[in-house]
Amino acid sequence: MPELPEVETIKRQLDVVLKGLRIERVKVINPKCFQGDQKQIEGQKVKKVSRRAKITFIELENGLYLAIHLKLTGQLIFRKKEEKEQKFCDQKEGPFAVCELPNKFTRVIIRFDKGNLFYNDLRMFGWIKIVKSLEEVGGEKLGPEAIDEKEFSFDYLKKVLAKTSRPVKIIIMDQQKIAGIGNIYANEALFKAGILPSRSSSSLKGLEIKKLRESIISVLKEAIEKKGTSDKDEAFRQITGEKGSFQNCLMVYGKAGEDCPGCKGKIKRISLGGRGTFFCEECQN
DNA sequence: TGATATGTTATCTT
DNA sequence: CAAGATAACATATC
């Protein structure tokens, strides 16, 4: 699902494509997904596109932002006006195929002078909000960015983990403590660090904390390079409609019953905090 | 048919 | 009151 690497991929691509374009009209097909008065942004030019945690911000020249959260199944697809041919069509068309746009899951269409930005969202958990600041979408509550090596320091992580005995996986997924990690990368980072997801946070030793931090940073950065994860059923697409490729690099996520890549054992699955949790009992402790 | 998937928040419990 | 746990949100898939 869209976590930091997926949103970063979208942010980078949108910044290139939208910068300087003018919003002509906003068509809200499903009002549940759009908050604010679209007249405030019609006619505005895009200054740049940025990201905080899993939220994308389209910054406009009048100082307003379009804040977008994709939640579980949101997609942002940009199609140039003259681009009739639909690229990156899935062989077998699932609910997340973007061959034809708009489709039945298109909730908002933002028409620019040079193309259309389609917001698709099957489950409609996600949203687009017109805001004046990050605070309006909870920005002040967020912890440091998980890929910010300065802010997300060893000392910071050590301090956060020392405060609680809850499972370490739950803590690293808590956006108020560290921003950007979701279920996929929490599982992957813990495997890479050799730490069981259920381990009490306060029981981690200095060396384990160091390894966990390094694993989080390296997994996220590699996933950004691979342009995110589009697993079997997954909604995530780049703004062209193309899938990401980090699903080919997953070690444990979604692999219950399969061989562990590090030993002879099998990947186990448990539920932690109501989320699927994947690990190897041999390699993680 | 019902269990399952997920990010965030609201709400309940300790 | 805060921390922690859990339900709710929507819907397609197996």
Domains defined along chain A, listed by start:
4-141 (3.20.190.10), 154-279 (1.10.8.50)
What is the pTM assigned to this prediction? 0.95
pLDDT at A226 over 90: yes
pLDDT tens-place string over residues A91-106:
666 788 888 889 889 9
Within 7 Å: CB of A141 and strand C?
no
pLDDT tens-place string over residues A16-60:
999 999 999 999 999 889 999 999 999 999 999 999 999 999 999
Residue nearest C4 (alpha carbon to C1'): A166
**Residue A12 CA to B13 C1' — how many Å?**
43
What are the structure tokens assigned to A19, written together? 């910068």
Please identify residues in chain A, positions 192-231, with a C-beta within 7 angstroms of any atom of strand B. Answer: none
| Helices A183-193/A206-225 angle, 10° precision | 130
Share of chain A above pLDDT 70, in %: 96
Known catalytic membership, residue A197? no
Known catalytic membership, residue A92? no
Nearest to A190 by CA among A161, A155, A162: A161
pLDDT tens-place string over residues A183-214:
999 999 999 999 999 999 999 999 999 999 99
**Residue A122 CA to B11 C1' — how many Å?**
26
Higher pLDDT, A232 or A176: A176
